[in-house]
Amino acid sequence: MSTFLSREATVAAPGFNRWLVPPAAIAVHMCIGEVYGFSVFNVPLTQAGAGWTIPQVGWIYSIALFMLGMSAAVFGKWVERSGPRKTMVASCACFCGGLLISALGVKLKLLWLLYLGYGFTGGIGLGLGYISPVSTLIKWFPDRPGMATGMAIMGFGGGALIGAPLGVKLVDHFKSADSVGVAEAFIAMAGLYAVSMLFGAFIVRVPPQDWKPEGWEPKQHVKPMITNADVLVDVAWKTPQFWCLWVVLCMNVSAGIGILGQASKMCSDMFGVSAAVGGGFAG
C-alpha cells in the first residue's frame, strides 16, 4: 500500500494523456468544496434537541476554514514530497472521517465532537485536498497555468452547488420523529465523498522529471526581472513584506468567507429562498 501511495508510483508513463488529470483534481475539489455550503446544516443542528444556537454551530465552519489555511501552510512541503495520491488519500481520510465524527457528535448531542470532527479533522482534510490538486495541475499545464488553476478552483466552488442541495435532500430524507436527519446525512455524504475522492486519488498522475508539453518552450523574458532569487517559506515568513501581504489578503478574504458561513439562513430570511438555494449561493 505504501508503494502504491508513493510519489514514484504516480509518475506518468510515456504517452500519458494529461487531460486525465483535471477530472482527478475536480473529483477531490467538488467534495471538499461542500464546506462552502455547510450553512444548510446550521438550522437543522439547532433543532437536534441539544439546545445549540446558531452562533455555537457557526463555529464548526469557522474552525474548518481556519484549519484549511493552517494545514495548507504547515503541510505544504510534505505534500510536495509525498505526491498527490498519498495527499488525496490523507485528505479523504480526514474529511470523510470528520463527517463521521460529527455524525457521532449529533447522535450523542456533544457539540465539541462536531468541532473536533468537521471543524478540526475535516479542516485538515480541506487543506490537504485543496493544495495538492492545484499544484499537480500546474505541473501538467505550464503552458496554461491560469486554466489549470481555474479548473481546480471551479471544482471547489462548484462543490457548494452540489453539496448544499444534496445536504438538504439527505436531511429531509432521513428526518424522522427521533432524528433531525443531520447525523444520517453526514454518514451518507462521507460515503459518497469517499468514493469520489478515492477515485481522484487512483487516477491522478504527476509528470516525469523535466517533462514539458510537446512543442512548448518556456517564454524568455525580454525585460530583466527585479530579482531572479527564490525565496523559501522558511525565509519568507521572517520578512515584514510577507506579513504585510498576509494581513491584506486575510482582510480581503475574511469578509466573504464570514458571510458564506451563514449564507443559507441569510438568504432564506432576507429573500425567502429555500435552504438549498441559499447554501448553493455560496458556490
pLDDT bracket for residue 153 (50, 70, 90): confident
The average pLDDT across 83-98 equals 96
Classify domain 2-280 at the CATH superfamily level: MFS general substrate transporter like domains (1.20.1250.20)
Any idea where the domains of the chain sit in the sequence?
2-280
- What DSSP string describes 68-93? HHHHHHHSHHHHHHH-HHHHHHHHHH
Question: Mean pLDDT across the stretch 267-273?
Answer: 65
Q: Does residue 244 have a pLDDT over 60?
A: yes
49, β-bridge pairs = none
**pLDDT score recorded for residue 114:** 97
Percent of the chain with pLDDT over 70: 86
pLDDT of residue 243: 86
Query: Which pLDDT band, with edges at 50, 70 and 90, does 172 fall under?
Result: very high
Q: Say what the pTM is.
A: 0.86
Q: How confident is the model at residue 281 (pLDDT cuts 50, 70, 90)?
A: low
Tell which wins on pLDDT, 234 or 43. Answer: 43
- Cα gap 166→158, rounded to integer Å: 12
Q: Which of 72, 121, 66, 126 has the alpha carbon at shortest distance from 99?
A: 121
Q: What is the pLDDT of residue 108?
A: 94
List all residues 6 or more positions away from 131 whose beta carbon is below 8 Å from its beta carbon.
72, 76, 79
pLDDT, tens digit (0-9, with 9 covering 90-100), for 183-218? 999 999 999 999 999 999 999 999 998 888 887 777
Instruction: Provide the pLDDT confidence category of residue 226 given band limits of 50, 70 and 90.
Output: low
